[in-house]
Amino acid sequence: MPLSHHHIRTTVDAYLARHPHEREQLGALLDALDRTGADIASRSAFTGHVTCSAIVVDQLGRVLHVLHLASGKVLAPGGHTEPTDDSLATAALRELHEETGIPPRAVTAWPGYETVPLDIDIHDIDAHPGKGEPGHQHFDLRFLFRLRTSTGVPVVLQEDEVGGIQWRPVDRVASPALGEKLLKLPLQVEPETANASALIHNDRGEYLLHLRDYFPGQIWEPGMWSLLGGGREPQDATLKHTVRRELAEEAGLDLTDLTPFGTEYATDDAGATVPIAIYAGRWNGDPRELHLTEGVMLAWFAPSDLHRLRIADTTSNLVRRHAARNPATQSGPEPEEEERLASPHGTVPNIIGVHLYLERADGTVLLGLRHPNSAFAPSTWHVLAGHCEQENAIGCLIREAQEEAGLHIERQDVELVHVVHHIGKPRNPPRMGLFFRARTWRGEPKLREPDKCLQWRFWDPAALPDDLVPYTRLAIEKIQSGELYSETGWPA
C-alpha cells in the first residue's frame, strides 16, 4: 500500500518539533501537505513530491556518497518512494540497496533517528520533455544509518544510475546543511543498541499493555506496565523486523500492519537515556488467548485508566499522544446497568464520520463489502467512510477516498447531501454521519486497503444489497428523496 499522507505529515511534524526554525524554509513541503487530495508520495505529483535518502556513516565517521549519472552530482543514495515501501525510512533503505548493493541488515538506524529524518532538503529538478516531466521540486527526507561492520561490505552498483561511490569525511559532505547536523553528532562513538516497541491499540481506543515480571536488577522496569518489544538482534534487517519478532516471541502475535509513530526516550537503571523506536498497530483480539512467554499478563487499558497503573511517564505520555491523534472508531462496551446516562443538558462528545455518496451517470451508487474481520459491520456493504482525525470533514473525505479507493476528489466538487444523527445502543456515544456527494472525480475504485474492504461495486439504489449497514440504507433513501437530515437508534 502506498505511503499514506498521514505518515508523511507525522514524520515531518516530528522533524519540525526538533527543528522549529526550519518551518519557513520547508514552506513548499508544508503547502503540499496542506493541499487536499495531493499524493506527494507519487513521482507523478509534479507540484512536488517526496524522495528519501540514506545517510550512511561508517566506523571511521565517513559518509557514503554515490555519483548519480542522471544529474552528474555526488549525493547520498536515495530516490523516489515505491508503493511497496511501508515507511519513509524503509524507502531510504531500499534505495541504498538498489543503488549500492548494501543490504538493510548491514546498517542500523542511528538511535533517536529511527523514524525521524536527520535532515529535510528541498531542491529543484529540471524538466525532462522527453519523459513528459515538467520542472518540479523534490522534498528529500534524509534518514541516518550506521554501518554495522568495520570491515566494509560488498558494493554492487546500479550501473544504469550510479557511476561510483565515495566515503567522505563529515566536513566534505555534499550538503552543507547536512554536514552541520552531522558535526553535532558523536560520529566516532558506537551508538547504543537499538530498541523497538509496539503501541498496539484497538477500535475502542484501548491500548495493550504488558505487566512485566518483578525481578529487580534483572529486567527492565520490573513490575511495571509497559509496551511489548525489545532490542534489535543481528538477524533483524530493520527495527520493524525487531518489533515483529519480539511480538511473535513474547506473545505469539503476528502483526504486519505496523507503522512508525515516534521515538520514546527511556532511562535505564544506570541513568542512561535509551532511545526506543515505537511502531503503532491495530489489533482487536482477546489478550487472554495469547501465549505469553515473558511477564505476568497482557490487558487492554483506556488512556483514562493509566493514572491507576504503575507505568513510566514516558510510556503513559506516548499512549496519550497517540490517543489524541487517533480517536476510537468503535464505541466501547455498554456500561453496567447501574451507570446512569448523563443529563441531556450536559455536554456529550459526538463522533463525526464522513461518508462518500458516489453516484455515476446511470444512477448507480458505490458500495464496498467490508472485510469479515472488521470490528464494525463485518461482511456488510457500506459506503466509503472514515472518522475525522485532526482535520476538517471535507479534507477527511478527500483523504479517505484516496487512501481507501484511489479516487481523486477536489474540494470544490464536494457537496453535503445528508446528515444522519445516529446511535448504536442507547448508552453508546452518539455519532453524526455526514454524507457528501462528489459531483466529479478522477479514477476508478481500487482495493487500496484489502484488509478492510474486499470489493467495490456500483449498486442500483432501487435494488440495494440486503446486508447493507442500516443507517447507510436510510441515508441513501433520504438522498434519493432530497431530504437533508434523519435520525436513527435513539430511544423513543
Share of the chain above pLDDT 90, in %: 37
Looking at residue 359, what is its pLDDT? 95
Looking at residue 105, what is its pLDDT? 84
Report the alpha-carbon distance of residue 63 to residue 182 in Å, rounded.
9
**pLDDT tens digits, one per residue of 52-94:** 999 999 877 889 999 888 778 889 999 999 888 888 999 999 9
Q: Are 260 and 7 in contact (CB under 8 A)?
A: yes
Does residue 143 register a pLDDT over 80?
yes
Residue type, 229: G
User: Average of pLDDT values for 284-309?
Assistant: 90
Beta strands in 69-126 (DSSP E): 73-75, 78-80, 107-109, 119-125
Looking at residue 283, what is its pLDDT? 92
Residue type, 156: V
Closest CA to 139 of 162, 120, 165: 120
Looking at residue 273, what is its pLDDT? 60
Report the alpha-carbon distance of residue 15 to residue 338 in Å, rounded.
48
Which has the higher per-residue pLDDT, 185 or 492?
Answer: 185
User: Average of pLDDT values for 147-164?
Assistant: 76
Does residue 192 register a pLDDT over 60?
no
User: Average of pLDDT values for 233-247?
Assistant: 82
Q: Are 229 and 220 in contact (CB under 8 A)?
A: no
Which has the higher per-residue pLDDT, 448 or 209?
Answer: 209
Query: Comparing 61-75, 89-103, 270-284, 309-323, which segment has the lowest mean pLDDT?
Result: 270-284
Which has the higher per-residue pLDDT, 274 or 321?
Answer: 321
**pLDDT tens digits, one per residue of 93-141:** 999 999 999 988 888 888 778 889 999 999 888 887 777 778 888 999 9
Does residue 318 register a pLDDT over 90?
no
Highest mean pLDDT among 99-113, 384-398, 427-441, 461-475: 461-475
Secondary structure (3-state) at 374: coil
Looking at residue 492, what is its pLDDT? 64
Looking at residue 21, what is its pLDDT? 92
- β-strand pairing of 273-282 with 195-201: parallel
Report the alpha-carbon distance of residue 318 to residue 367 in Å, rounded.
36
C-alpha cell at 406: 484511489
Q: What confidence category does residue 461 fall into, taking pLDDT thresholds of 50, 70 and 90?
A: very high
Secondary structure (3-state) at 99: helix
Query: Comparing 192-196, 204-208, 401-405, which segment has the lowest mean pLDDT?
Result: 192-196
Burial 63-85 (b: 16+ CB within 10 A, else e): bbbbbbeeeeebbbbbbbbeeeb
Looking at residue 397, what is its pLDDT? 93
Average pLDDT of the chain is: 84
Looking at residue 388, what is its pLDDT? 82
Report the alpha-carbon distance of residue 431 to residue 335 in Å, rounded.
17
Count of CA atoms in the C-beta half-sphere (13 A) of 347: 0
**pLDDT tens digits, one per residue of 327-378:** 765 554 444 433 434 444 456 778 899 999 999 999 999 999 998 877 778 8
Measured CA angle at 73 (ends 68, 77), to 5 deg: 45
* Cβ neighbours, 10 Å, residue 342: 10
Q: Are 235 and 257 in contact (CB under 8 A)?
A: no
Q: What confidence category does residue 271 fall into, taking pLDDT thresholds of 50, 70 and 90?
A: low
User: Average of pLDDT values for 278-295?
Assistant: 89
Q: What confidence category does residue 413 fall into, taking pLDDT thresholds of 50, 70 and 90?
A: very high
- List Cβ neighbours of 85 (8 Å cut-off, separation of 6 or more): 3, 91, 94
